Amino acid sequence: MEILGKDVGIVVVDHGSRRAEANAMLEEVVALFRAHTGYANVEAAHMELAEPTLAQAFDRCVARGAQRVIIHPYFLAPGRHSMKDIPELAAAAAAAHPGVGYMVTAPLGLDVRLAEVMRLRVEAALADSGGRVDSD
């Protein structure tokens, strides 16, 4: 697979958690994204509570040659974190790298492919339960 955007770094940033397994899942998301897209310079970051921080991930992208860094909030809906906090953290990270451009994408949002994932989760739950639904 061709390596895309050799001068582009991508930071996928979630909220961050005190639970190591939750933070590790973002690393798996990033690995999946790398494998599926061909973008090689992709870093995971946590907005708070865990490392790497957005600034650390931004630094790593630049160290590998990124001239532009795209920050993707790994959130479902627009809210304070994706619309205010993450853009502020991105601006602070970029300030340490004059001449390197950056932008923040929209969060995941509405997409028919998310509905498909939801359908698959519902079907898996039904299969695991033998079709039985618990009640009070």
- Residue 1 has a pLDDT of 42
Q: Is residue 122 part of a domain?
A: no
Residues designated as active site: 15
- According to the model, what pLDDT value does residue 84 have? 96
Whether residue 115 lies inside any domain: the answer is no
Q: Is the pLDDT of residue 65 over 90?
A: yes
Residue 1 lies in a domain: no
Q: What is the pLDDT of residues 36-62, one digit of tens each?
A: 999 999 999 999 999 999 999 999 999
120 occurs within a structural domain: no
pLDDT at 3 over 70: no
Nearest CA to 46 among 67, 30, 63, 69?
Answer: 30
CATH (domain of 54) = 3.40.50.1400
Tens-digit pLDDT profile for residues 85-123: 999 999 999 999 999 999 999 999 999 999 999 999 999
CB 72 within 8 A of CB 8: no
Structural domain boundaries, residue 81: 8-109
84 secondary structure, DSSP code: I
Position 135 in a domain: no
Domains contained in the chain, number = 1
- Of 130, 89, 101, 26, the closest CA to residue 34 belongs to 26
